A and B are shown apart, each in its own frame.
Chain A
């Protein structure tokens, strides 16, 4: 790897919201003032110790800090020492809670009373609906019809939490179309409504703001790993990447260490691995698209990773070589889910099962030599996928 100044990575983007050549704010004029307002609100809040106190206080009441657990049986089997950062143990069962609490506080600060959100797997939708209930906001969740079908339990949970769930029947009827619809709502309702985006995607300041709201994962894990590893950092830090929020939050804690950063994308939606620079949903990033610039549908067993784009900062980390992005195929993801369940008693969500799948595949090869120490972010628990996985394992 070329030498580089890692201290400059994963800091604030340029005033235009650029991470290297990626990022920016590509939005209709009607939404520019709202993004400027959000940026100003976030800047002020993030510089305000009272905001951090309140944010971390609420997270503490909702399961933080999450533990780092040692996977003894899996480690023995793979010949690498595996540690898991347990975001699955938070309230609502995934890392998404970190982001929604932060954005709910900002929504209140901006004097808005309604939030809209998109969801793929339903994890962000459930987290957003939870935060809306906690803060008393009206909440509308857009979800592709395909995802409504494969994540019925989460749809029910969102409704139970008081949110309205709107199935989206346009385009590929998955996450990207849910985001389109959330933007369409927002442009019509921006004066009262905050768009509570779920990943490190979208126009500036979202990729930066959401990485900062998720960096609690990496900041905690860094200290916890050092306590476990006698002051050392893990050799590898691995996280799944759809839009890439849990990976961004994890990597932020390790970007200035010697750890190798590995993002695992679904083979059918590998935007960093197979994408071409382009603009969708407000930012310039790596994107699955055809020769004419039409967005290609991603295909993954995991609704949460079924996205043709990726956060612009990941595209930049790949550009400068600080992180590598590798694919995991659906079959090995299901096998990884089973192996983690039977060796460790942990049923992961399909999304972090991608990260586990890569570790299983790479362990003992040059990509992940025997004897290495590897931290995997367990971004969410598998309850939501149980029915879906049951169907696939039966069919298989």
Chain B
């Protein structure tokens, strides 16, 4: 299989890493409230290196209570893939955007059309956690032809042979799941997180980010002892669901940024 040139997402993350930064990728659920694009802008202004935009699905099996609630509320507010992508197109975040959704949304839209909608609206990458390697080809072909970078997830139970393939076929970065389980805040960083990052780093020089349960700046710093960066989702969406303003979400992201920069 041909190896495409790194896209904006991977180039940008590699540049930031080369400059000595630990990478910070916050997440926002698309369509969650009338001001969600302001949240996106505030995240970028607070030092996010890329931003994950959730396209909500009715049945998010990988997600814990916070993202479930965020998804359900966004859907009740009328969020659709098209409306979210249109809104994203109108935002100039200045950093790469990565769509996160479930496969049925992609399948229903059509692989080509969905990939085209991402690239046409300025979205660099895609995370679709319920497409494992064996089912990846139809989507990967469409994504590559549209220049969309597909980020693959690896889990602590993933054996080495699969890990190598995941690292090879993941674009933008490689997403290490810090612990077996679903998304959501946790008291402490799982012991499996460091091992996960170390194993991935042994297989690839692509940026390796850890996600799932990165709930505090201290967790982020701890995770970055091995990883190149972190994805932070539930900790931010909990605040948004509790009524935080875009500025307040920006401050929370800035807290992660400062902690990572201070090491």
Contacts and interface: CB of A to CB of B under 8 A. Distances in A.
Interface of A: 16, 24-30, 32-34, 170-171, 176-177, 180, 183-184, 187-191, 276-282, 284, 287, 289, 291-295
Given A29-B129, A184-B62, A294-B58, 17 more contacts: A26-B103, A27-B130, A29-B152, A171-B58, A176-B59, A180-B61, A184-B182, A191-B157, A280-B59, A280-B104, A281-B59, A287-B104, A291-B108, A292-B80, A292-B105, A293-B104, A293-B106
Nearest to A176: B59
* Chain A facing B: main interface SS: mixed
Contacts of B173: none
B164 interface: no
Nearest to B177: A30
Nearest to B182: A184
Contacts of A187: 61-62, 180-182
B129 A33 contact: no
A25 B134 contact: yes
Contacts of A284: 107
Contacts of A294: 57-58, 75
B132 interface: yes
Nearest to B156: A30
B145 interface: no
9 contacts: A29-B133, A29-B154, A29-B158, A32-B133, A180-B60, A284-B107, A293-B106, A293-B108, A295-B104
A293 B109 contact: yes
Contact of B108 (A24, A33, A292): A292
A190 B103 CA distance: 22
A133 to B, nearest CB: 27
Interface in B61-101: 61-62, 64, 68, 72, 75, 80-82
Contact of A30 (B108, B134, B152, B180): B180
Would you list the 3 A-B pairs with minimal beta carbon distance, nearest first?
A293-B108, A30-B155, A188-B181
B42 to A, nearest CB: 27
Contact of B130 (A16, A26, A170, A190): A26
A30 B157 contact: yes
A213 to B, nearest CB: 24
A144 to B, nearest CB: 13
B203 interface: no
B223 to A, nearest CB: 18
Nearest to A170: B68
Given A190-B157, A191-B157, A292-B105, A26 B181 contact: no
B131 interface: yes
A183 B61 contact: yes
Contacts of A292: 80-82, 105, 108-109
A29 B109 CA distance: 23
B5 interface: no
Nearest to B61: A183
Instruction: Give chain B's interface residue range (CB within 8 Å of chain A).
Output: 35 or more
Contacts of B61: 28, 180, 183-184, 187, 281
Interface in B172-198: 177, 180-182
Nearest to B65: A170
B135 interface: yes
Given A25-B135, A294-B57, A289 B108 contact: yes
A138 to B, nearest CB: 18
A176 B58 CA distance: 10
B153 A29 contact: yes
B34 interface: no
B132 A29 contact: yes
B72 A170 contact: yes
A293 B128 CA distance: 14
B132 A28 contact: yes
Nearest to B79: A292
Contacts of A282: 130
Most buried by B among A27, A188, A281, A287: A27
Contacts of A184: 61-62, 64, 182
B132 A278 contact: no
B166 interface: yes
A25 B157 contact: no
Contacts of A33: 157-159
Contact of B153 (A28, A171, A277, A279): A28
